[in-house]
Structure formats: C-alpha cells, structure tokens
C-alpha cells in the first residue's frame, strides 16, 4: 500500500501515519522528521534547512526529492509506505510520480485530511511532545491525566521550534499557496480520497482505515 497523506499543518498526518504504520507494518516517511534529524545532527545541509524551517518556509524541492528517493529505495519501503508531509508542491508531486514510475510501483491513494481552520490553530499552538517518552500531546485536547503522566515522571512538555504563532501563520499560508493545488492534482488522477479529520484520534483513524478499503 503506497499512500500520500495530504493536509494542512496540524491536520494530524503524523499521528495517523504512526497508527497506520503500526497496523499495516509499512513505514511512515516524514520529510519533516528527516529534515529535523538533519538539523539535529548539525550537518552543513542541516544548518541551511534550520532557518528555512524555523521561518515555516519550504526547503528546496531538489533537496527534499534527494531525501525521499533515498528513503524509498530502502528495503523496508518495498512493500509500501505512508508519505507524511511530502509532496508539498506540484513539482514534488511530479517528481514523486516519475520516481514511482521508474520503480514500477505507482501510488495507490492520496488521502486529504480535512480540518477546519480554527481547530488547526489550536492543534498547532497546543501541540507538545513529552521529553521522556516522545508521546505527542496537546494542552487543549489531551486530558490533564495524560499531561500529568509526563510531568509527574519528570518529563517536560516540549513545543516544536516552528509551533509559535508567527511561524504557524506562515506555514498555513505556504500550505494554501503551494500544497493546496495538489488536491486538484490528485483529483485529476482519480487518486484523491477526502476524510473528515476532526474529532478524536481513534475516530479519525477509523475513517482513514475505511477510506483505504
Ligand atoms: P512538517 O513536520 O511536515 O510540518 O515539516 C516541518 C518543516 O519541514 C516544514 O515547515 C518545511 O520547512 C520542511 N519540510 C517538510 N517537508 C517538506 C517538503 N516536502 N518540502 C519542503 N519542505 C518541507
């Protein structure tokens, strides 16, 4: 199963991709995670990407394509993958199409995760990661017990560098301008499925599973 998860920042692509990965035993391929890793290891390329990401802008298409083509060539991606945060531009979608054509493994579906703007803002500004467990939490939507479980164990609720209000505003407009056109792109190819991605994580996951049948 080869899937693209499409949706605005905060639509829950990462969360749902992780659930699907565990369920279907195919890897989640997140360009955002891979770029953050490059930034954390402090490579020359990582340093360049850091300022772009902190501003909420897009890393150049050729850089992202390089990362993706290497990743999709790895053994664990041969039975399928869930692309999370890629493609983000029409050029990236075309590059992906060409890459998958060359590999002889076309994409099955692009799932658009549809979320209202106000909820996106709360999801993004409230998003935290537990420094101990890596668990994704949200100060608006997680229960107090879940938040306490992290802090009582000595963990911290860490906010992503690019989850501040200014960067979030830019990320959302970058999404509208560059990534939203991909909805039409995949519609034209008859690969688009849209799901309502509001509500509890498990409810959304049920809808995602149903959309993939
Ligand atoms: P994400 O974790 O998917 O929200 O990505 C975090 C940041 O990484 C984005 O705001 C971009 O700066 C960069 N990034 C991730 N994926 C891509 C991509 N496909 N193309 C360009 N930049 C990307």
Helix (H, G, I), strand (E, B) or coil at 62: helix
Angle at 197 between CA 196 and CA 200, to 5 degrees: 120
In contact, 46 and 34? CB cutoff 8 Å:
no
Give the CATH number of the domain where residue 194 resides.
3.40.50.300
Residue 36 lies in a domain: yes
Nearest to 86 by CA among 159, 189, 13: 13
Domains contained in the chain, number = 1
From ligand 1's centre to the CA of 59, what distance in Å?
7
The reply to whether ligand 1 has any atom less than 6 angstroms from the CB of 124 is no
Residue 160 falls in the annotated catalytic set? yes
Task: Please provide the average confidence, as pLDDT, over all residues in the chain.
Answer: 94
Helix (H, G, I), strand (E, B) or coil at 115: coil
Q: Could you tell me the sign of the dihedral formed by the alpha carbons of 213, 26, 58, 142, in that order?
A: positive
In this structure, what token pair is assigned to residue 164? 């501040």
The reply to whether ligand 1 has any atom less than 6 angstroms from the CB of 67 is no
Residue 30 lies in a domain: yes
Q: Whose CA is nearest to atom 14 of ligand 1?
A: 32
Residue 58 lies in a domain: yes
The reply to whether ligand 1 has any atom less than 6 angstroms from the CB of 86 is yes
Summarised one tens digit per residue, pLDDT across range 114-167 is 999 889 999 999 999 999 999 989 999 999 999 999 999 999 999 988 888 888
Residue 141 lies in a domain: no
In this structure, what token pair is assigned to residue 186? 């995949």
Summarised one tens digit per residue, pLDDT across range 13-30 is 999 999 999 999 999 999
Find the farthest-apart pair of alpha carbons in the chain and give their distance in angstroms, rounded: 51
Nearest to 167 by CA among 125, 139, 112: 125
Confidence at residue 18, expressed as pLDDT on a 0 to 100 scale: 94
Among 35, 36, 113, the mutation site with the greatest number of ligand 1 atoms within 8 A of its Cβ is: 35
DSSP structure class, residue 6 = E
């Amino acid at each position: 199963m080869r899937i693209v998860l499409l949706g605005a920042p905060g639509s829950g692509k990462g969360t749902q991709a992780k659930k699907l990965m565990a369920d279907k035993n195919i890897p989640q391929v997140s360009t955002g995670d891979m770029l953050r890793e490059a930034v954390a290891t402090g490579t020359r390329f990582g340093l360049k990407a850091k300022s772009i990401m902190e501003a909420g802008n897009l890393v150049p298409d050729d850089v992202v394509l390089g990362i993706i083509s290497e990743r999709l060539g790895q053994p664990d991606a041969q039975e399928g993958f869930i692309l999370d945060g890629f493609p983000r531009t029409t050029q990236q979608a075309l590059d992906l199409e060409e890459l998958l054509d060359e590999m002889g493994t076309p994409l099955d579906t692009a799932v658009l995760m549809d979320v209202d703007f106000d909820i996106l803002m709360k999801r993004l500004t409230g998003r935290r990661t537990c420094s101990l467990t890596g668990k994704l939490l949200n100060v608006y939507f997680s229960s107090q017990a879940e938040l306490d479980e992290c802090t009582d164990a000595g963990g911290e609720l860490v906010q992503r560098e690019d989850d501040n209000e200014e960067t979030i505003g830019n990320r959302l407009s970058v999404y509208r301008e560059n990534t939203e056109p991909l909805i039409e792109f995949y519609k034209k190819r008859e690969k688009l499925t849209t799901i309502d991605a509001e509500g509890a994580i498990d409810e959304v996951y049920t809808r995602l599973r149903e959309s993939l049948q």
